[in-house]
A and B are shown apart, each in its own frame.
Chain A
Amino acid sequence: MASAFEYAPAPESRSVVDIAPSYGLFVDGEFTEAADGKVFKTISPSTEEVLSEVARAGAEDVDRAVRAARKAFGTWSALPGAERAKYLFRIARIIQERSRELAVLETLDNGKPIRETRDADLPLVAAHFFYYAGWADKLEHAGFGARPRPLGVAGQVIPWNFPLLMLAWKIAPALATGNTVVLKPAETTPLSALFFADVCRQAGLPRGVVNILPGYGDAGAALVAHPDVNKVAFTGSTAVGKEIARTVAGTRKKLTLELGGKGANIVFDDAPIDQAVEGIVNGIFFNQGQVCCAGSRLLVQESVEEELLDALKRRLSTLRLGDPLDKNTDIGAINSEEQLTRITRLVEQGEAEGAERWSPQCEIPSAGYWFAPTLFTKVTQAHTVARDEIFGPVLSVLTFRTPDEAVAKANNTPYGLSAGVWTEKGSRILAVAGKLRAGVIWSNTFNKFDPTSPFGGYKESGFGREGGRHGLEAYLDV
């Protein structure tokens, strides 16, 4: 009887989004083909269905887009801040109006659950534009000098894990401060950026202020290297981030990088255990773990390891993996075959190195790219799964005995993006948070984001901050 309470499928309707069979580049206010006519297909990772064919930008297109942005820069930067603000407010509002459509689109193109695009990505996107809109006419109060000036043309390259949210993090502060932008979305998730171009059209944004160039790494490299770009902002892997840093070396381009991480989530024996379990789950299985600030290393005090692992395994068994458009799905698809291969390889390496692998019973759909939530126990600092960023739903569990050891292990990584601390003891929270070398510390919570809250890393997780007053600095000549 009781087992009859299986939730029936509750798919969000696809009909709210109308995906065209093909899309061009968005340059100087118009959709155009690539100069060399190249295109690529974008697929839905949960079904491998081709969603659309998209123009593929090359170096020539990058040059054209940068020229358009340069041309637009003069009038856009000269516009009174209050007027620029109103365009951004318009964009925020239009995104709110179209949020259902954009959430479904993002879920289709990225593979993440609609629950996340609906409840996290889209609300944060709108909030980010709304927040930075308000800065546009208040820049002289931001603490970056009496007359802060924009830099010029911003070249922005974003990843596939939060396509529209990363676009918002890049474009909102850039426009608020009077820059114009050329943005390259990731090759596996170009659609929401192209829909954003349509949002710009509806908002009446002057042509050339925002240019969107779908494409591959070569387009990103050309954009970063373009001599008329004044500012480079990149979110993505640490390896590419280093390459970009080398490219801009010796130029006057301002650079901000938001890169990889291997976040430690530290659970003390006096933690609020049920909330800690939720935080751990949210920390590593949110967006299938394809999150730079994921809490991918669980550091648990040895005295509560068994209790916590029991609770964690029980909780993982209730996660629902499957159709990302189903409103009850917790775990969606991995974004691409390439990423799935990487996750698989690292997990196999973890097993080979002697860590114990565990996953809950869960049915994997036959089509698409999927990876079951995975736990590694008996992990030490020496294991690859404790050191390399996996960028997938894989949690490595390590133990510690004392707060000092917890901090030492948490900091023992070249990364420094995020960390979590779980304890009911206030002074310990503050002491540990103070010693952790990471840009964002979540204490008794995890994976919380807000446009007012600066985000960014220490060490090899990059430099510069996005969000908040701090996020303005990246786009101002200070």
Chain B
Amino acid sequence: MSDKTHKAHKAHKASRAQKAGGTHEAAADVEAVPAVTGDGTAPAAGAGPRVTVLKTYKLYVGGKFPRSESGRVYEVTDSEGNWLANAPRASRKDARDAVVAARKAFGGWSGATAYNRGQVLYRVAEMLEGRRHQFVREVADAEGLSEARAAGVVDATIDRWVWYAGWTDKIAQVTGGANPVAGPYFNLSSPEPTGVVAVLAPQESSFLGLVSVLAPVIATGNTAVLVASERAPLPALSLAEVLATSDVPGGVVNVLSGGTAELAAPLAAHQDVNAIDLAGADEQLAKELEVAAADNLKRVLRPQPVDYFATPGTDRMTAFLETKTVWHPTGSLGASGSSY
């Protein structure tokens, strides 16, 4: 990135930040934080508002928080157009790195016990609960919701993690089972994760929708490359910080922000991506991506209207599960037959 651009952005950020801070936590800021005096002398206690420390939002790839390799960022605003932050504008190379990280993490995550995955997902809920206020503010900003509505969204989102945490060790029993073949064979079908899944998070529902499409993918043992809502990526980028501290192994979830179309195209065409959830694509983009996905026969989940507040079914899990059927001869207890 160019130094010049970076500095310009920083200056810009500072001015916006005071406004943003003022909007939400003005009272607290003013009371608790000393003001900066005009002449530079030491301020008296309680004399003015403190300048808040802003967060540099980063991508989340392979358990690390890199900036975009392209050095690009884009401005993220709230629903009224006020500056919130600069989000990294990830490039196709970032997407490629994310796929590599997701592939690397697949063996371990898909090989973990379902119980273990369930505990990890539950841990995500626990961590989120602790950072509830942060996400309420971010969701309110991102989606222009009142604090109460945003709190409702966040609560539902936390509960969604809990819901999927409970599914990890049940889905195989619901979708798999023994098949009574007409012969001396033991025959068992069990679901297995498809592999690396590219997930285009819904554009409107920046947090509940995001988790509603991400959690089922990883609950079943897939690893994910998530493209955050283009307009409202901050809850997704903050979620990455929660995932990083929730025992989710690095690379299981990789979060990219930026242009959905720009990132989705290389992901849909990537030969080492096994499936793609098109939730965040519009009709035209979805069609283009589905065509590209045919090159290696990705499993494609087309965009569809979803009420994210409703309790989900198993569809989003089964969409990224393969059924493996194993045969083995049984035979009799002895060459001369048996009465048992």
Contacts and interface: CB of A to CB of B under 8 A. Distances in A.
Direct contact of A and B (CB under 8 A): yes
Interface string A191-223: 000000000000000000000000000000000
B222 interface: no
A460 B294 CA distance: 9
Nearest to B271: A414
Contact of B325 (A252, A445, A455): A455
Interface in A218-271: 238, 241-243, 245-246, 249-250, 252, 257, 259
Contact of A463 (B185, B187, B290, B297): B297
A470 interface: yes
Nearest to A457: B322
A453 B180 CA distance: 8
Contact of B327 (A414, A448, A456, A465): A448
Contacts of A448: 181, 183, 185, 327
A456 to B, nearest CB: 7
Given A143-B174, A250-B286, A238 B187 contact: no
A277 interface: no
A452 B180 contact: yes
Nearest to A442: B327
A470 B189 contact: yes
Range class of the B interface residue count: 35 or more
B299 interface: yes
B324 A438 contact: yes
Given A246-B291, A450-B182, A468-B179, A443 B328 contact: yes
A443 B174 contact: no
B319 to A, nearest CB: 10
Nearest to A254: B302
Nearest to B318: A473
A441 interface: yes
Given A250-B287, A250-B290, A452 B297 contact: no
Contact of A459 (B174, B274, B286, B329): B274
Given A429-B328, A453-B179, A470 B291 contact: no
Contacts of A433: 324, 326
B324 A439 contact: yes
B296 interface: yes
A458 interface: yes
Contact of B297 (A242, A250, A468): A242
Interface string B168-189: 0000001101011111010101
Interface in A419-442: 429, 433, 438-442
Contacts of A445: 185, 327-329
A249 B182 contact: no
Nearest to B283: A250
Interface in B287-340: 287, 290-291, 293-297, 299-300, 302, 313, 315, 322-329
Nearest to A438: B324
Interface in B9-51: none
A140 B181 CA distance: 22
B189 A259 contact: no
Contacts of B322: 439, 458
Contacts of A441: 324-327
A468 B189 contact: yes
A444 B327 CA distance: 8
A450 B181 contact: yes
A403 interface: no
A478 B304 CA distance: 13
B180 A257 contact: no
Contacts of A414: 296
A148 interface: no
Given A414-B296, A444-B329, A448-B185, A249 B287 contact: yes
Nearest to A257: B297
A441 B283 CA distance: 38
Interface string A134-148: 000000000101000
A115 to B, nearest CB: 18
Nearest to B187: A453
Contacts of A452: 179-182, 187
The 7 A-B residue pairs with the shortest CB-CB distance, nearest first, are A250-B287, A249-B290, A245-B294, A450-B181, A452-B179, A441-B326, A249-B291
Interface of A: 127, 143, 145, 238, 241-243, 245-246, 249-250, 252, 257, 259, 414, 429, 433, 438-445, 448, 450, 452-456, 458-460, 462-463, 465, 468-470, 478
13 contacts: A249-B291, A250-B290, A438-B324, A439-B323, A440-B324, A440-B326, A448-B327, A453-B189, A454-B323, A459-B297, A460-B297, A470-B189, A470-B323
Given A246-B291, A250-B291, 14 more contacts: A242-B295, A250-B287, A257-B297, A429-B328, A441-B324, A443-B327, A448-B183, A453-B181, A454-B179, A454-B325, A455-B325, A459-B297, A460-B296, A470-B175
